[in-house]
């Protein structure tokens, strides 16, 4: 087994920072040593990486990605190969993607399809959540089986997209009751899809078809209302753990915070797009340009306090995790499916490569601490979703490490840093005061010297345990 020693770095965890050396033996972190201690103990390594002036942090964990997702007559443009290579470029060493069951299809068959898409094609480790798009007796049985046998311990339901993935309140309650029995986590896309469909139809009938109307027909109130309803259903279902995905609105965050204060097992996630992008500056760009930023939940107005509240939510732990909801589509031929009708624009933004960078900029600007950056991007995702050997730099954990250079810079854009399989960047022109230096996945260097040196197929499927926040 290869031994690697990372020396002279500042090791940053969710709880603090300290100078130290990290000894990696094979795929595992063997020891954390005081600076220079390895030589005194006679410990040798096959390779030594000097991290002087740099931060040594756990590899990023993105628990919300959609590689090769079929949506709106097309498919997300990143494969598991291109998407996980781009993730590695961004300091991410594990993703949790979504296997999708639609109404009248088999959970087991659809999960097998996703395993087939990913197996042997990933550059970093991966796990799966299971989307339940058709709640019935068979899918409920399958949920229990997946928890017990497949290492899939979280299930996503949709209060949006009627006729595609939507579940009504009764179906949601049944799925929540099932999850309550097995200890699984329910993930919720919380928007009132029935009401939104009415607003969308009315908008198109008026001739209001530009991309900006995607946001205007999905008002923040509809996100807040659905979040409230999901929380009440979860409470009735036995305080089942509930994780609200991709939160964009102050109204939704207020519901999550109130539930937490009442002692409920409710957790919140936001994404970089809601922290940095807006309706006015991006979605409302002239002509059809705004289609690049169509995603759901939508980008919100900058004239209210959504972004400030989300940053505050991260500081106060009302929001537990920042994920990307990475669901990339090219502008040409994919986003263009919605020319003249915003409701036909495929929903999604590519971001798996840039989450660690964008959130680090929040450290630079004083929105969050260095420790909170590590916590929301690596440690909490691992604990929340049962990745028991990931998310921390500690003996016995997988050697997933990001060496981050705070003294360098990153410029994001198609002609700058961009490795996702897309013809545009949602963050074109953004500059970050910091840079991914070296990325190590299970003891193997996959990115160094501005070069991807890993290999497709290195990534393994990770069976997950139950959430560590509940036991």
Annotated domain spans of the chain: 3-57+395-408+432-452, 59-384
Query: What CA–CA distance (Å, rounded) separates 28 from 250?
Result: 41
**pLDDT on residue 103:** 86
**Pure H helices in 262-390:** 272-276, 306-316, 355-364, 370-374, 380-384
Residue pointed to by tokens 């509930």: 242
Q: DSSP string spanning 23-54? A: EEETTEEEEEE-TTHHHHTT---SEEEE-TTS
pTM (predicted TM-score): 0.98
214, 298 in Cβ contact below 8 A?
yes
Q: DSSP string spanning 107-173? A: HHHHHHHHHHHHTT--SSEEEEEEEESS-SHHHHHHHHHIIIIIS--EEEEESSSTTTTB--HHHHH
Could you count the other beta carbons within 10 Å of the beta carbon of residue 264?
A: 18
**pLDDT on residue 446:** 98
Residue whose C-alpha is closest to residue 169's, from 147, 146, 192: 192
246, 448 in Cβ contact below 8 A?
no
Q: At what angle do helices 220-236 and 250-261 cross, to 10 degrees?
A: 20
What is the chain's pLDDT, residue by residue, as a tens digit (471 residues)? 899 999 999 999 999 999 999 999 999 999 999 998 998 899 999 999 999 999 999 999 999 999 999 988 899 999 999 999 999 999 999 999 999 999 889 999 999 999 999 999 999 999 999 999 999 999 999 999 999 999 999 999 999 999 889 999 999 999 999 999 999 999 999 999 999 999 999 999 999 999 999 999 999 999 999 999 999 999 999 999 999 999 999 999 999 999 999 999 999 999 999 999 999 999 999 999 999 999 999 999 999 999 999 999 999 999 999 999 999 999 999 999 999 999 999 999 999 999 999 999 999 999 999 999 999 999 999 999 999 999 999 999 999 999 999 999 999 999 999 999 999 999 999 999 999 999 999 999 999 999 999 999 999 999 999 999 885
19, 53 in Cβ contact below 8 A?
no
Q: Do domains 3-57+395-408+432-452 and 59-384 have the same CATH topology?
A: no
Tell me how far CA of residue 244 lies from CA of 188, 247, 318, 388, 435, in angstroms.
5, 7, 11, 22, 30
Instruction: Find all residues with CB under 8 Å of 258, minimum gap 6, and list them.
Output: none
Q: Which CATH architecture does the domain made up of 3-57+395-408+432-452 adopt?
A: Roll (2.30)
Nearest-5° angle of CA 127, CA 128, CA 129?
140
Query: What CA–CA distance (Å, rounded) separates 339 from 342?
Result: 7
**pLDDT on residue 471:** 53
DSSP conformation class of 337: G
53, 383 in Cβ contact below 8 A?
no
CATH class of 59-384: alpha beta
């Amino acid at each position: 087994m290869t031994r690697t020693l990372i020396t002279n770095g500042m090791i940053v965890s969710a709880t603090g920072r300290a100078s130290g050396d990290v000894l990696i033996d094979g795929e595992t972190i063997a020891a954390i040593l005081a600076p220079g201690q390895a030589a005194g103990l006679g410990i040798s390594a096959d390779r030594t990486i000097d991290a002087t002036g740099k931060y040594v942090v756990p590899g990023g964990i993105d628990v919300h990605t959609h590689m090769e997702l079929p949506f709106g007559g097309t498919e997300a443009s990143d494969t598991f190969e291109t998407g996980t290579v781009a993730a590695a470029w961004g300091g991410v060493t594990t993703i949790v993607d979504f296997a999708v069951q639609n109404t009248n299809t088999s959970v087991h068959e659809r999960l097998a399809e996703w395993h087939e898409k990913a197996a042997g094609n990933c550059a970093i480790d991966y796990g799966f959540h299971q989307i339940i798009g058709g709640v019935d007796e068979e899918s409920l049985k399958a949920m229990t089986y997946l928890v017990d046998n497949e290492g899939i311990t979280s299930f996503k339901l949709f209060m949006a997209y009627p006729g595609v993935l939507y579940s009504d309140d009764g179906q949601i309650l049944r799925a929540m009751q099932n999850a309550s029995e097995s200890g699984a986590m329910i993930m919720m896309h919380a928007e009132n899809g029935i009401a939104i469909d009415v607003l969308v139809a009315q908008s198109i009938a008026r001739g209001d078809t530009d991309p900006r109307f995607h946001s205007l027909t999905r008002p923040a109130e509809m996100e807040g209302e659905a979040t409230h309803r999901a929380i009440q259903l979860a409470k009735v279902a036995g305080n089942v753990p509930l994780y609200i995905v991709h939160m964009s609105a102050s109204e939704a965050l207020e519901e999550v915070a109130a539930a937490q204060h009442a002692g409920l097992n409710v957790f919140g996630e936001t994404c970089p797009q809601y922290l940095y992008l807006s309706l006015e500056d991006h979605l409302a760009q002239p002509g059809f340009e705004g289609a690049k930023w169509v995603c759901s939940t939508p980008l919100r107005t900058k004239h209210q306090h959504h972004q400030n509240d989300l940053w505050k939510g991260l500081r106060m732990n009302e929001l537990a995790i920042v994920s990307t909801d990475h669901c990339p589509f090219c502008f040409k031929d994919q986003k263009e499916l919605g020319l003249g009708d915003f409701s036909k624009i495929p929903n999604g933004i590519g971001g798996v490569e840039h989450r660690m960078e964008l959130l680090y900029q929040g450290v630079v600007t004083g929105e969050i601490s260095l420790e909170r950056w590590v916590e929301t991007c690596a440690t909490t995702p691992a604990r929340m979703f049962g990745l028991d050997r990931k998310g921390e730099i500690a003996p016995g954990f997988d050697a997933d490490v990001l060496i981050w250079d705070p003294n360098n810079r990153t410029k994001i854009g198609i002609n700058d840093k961009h490795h996702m399989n897309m013809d545009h960047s949602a963050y074109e022109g953004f500059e970050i005061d910091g840079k991914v230096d070296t990325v190590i996945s299970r003891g193997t260097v996959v990115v160094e010297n501005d070069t991807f040196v890993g290999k497709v197929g290195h990534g393994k499927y990770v069976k997950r345990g139950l959430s560590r926040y509940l036991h």
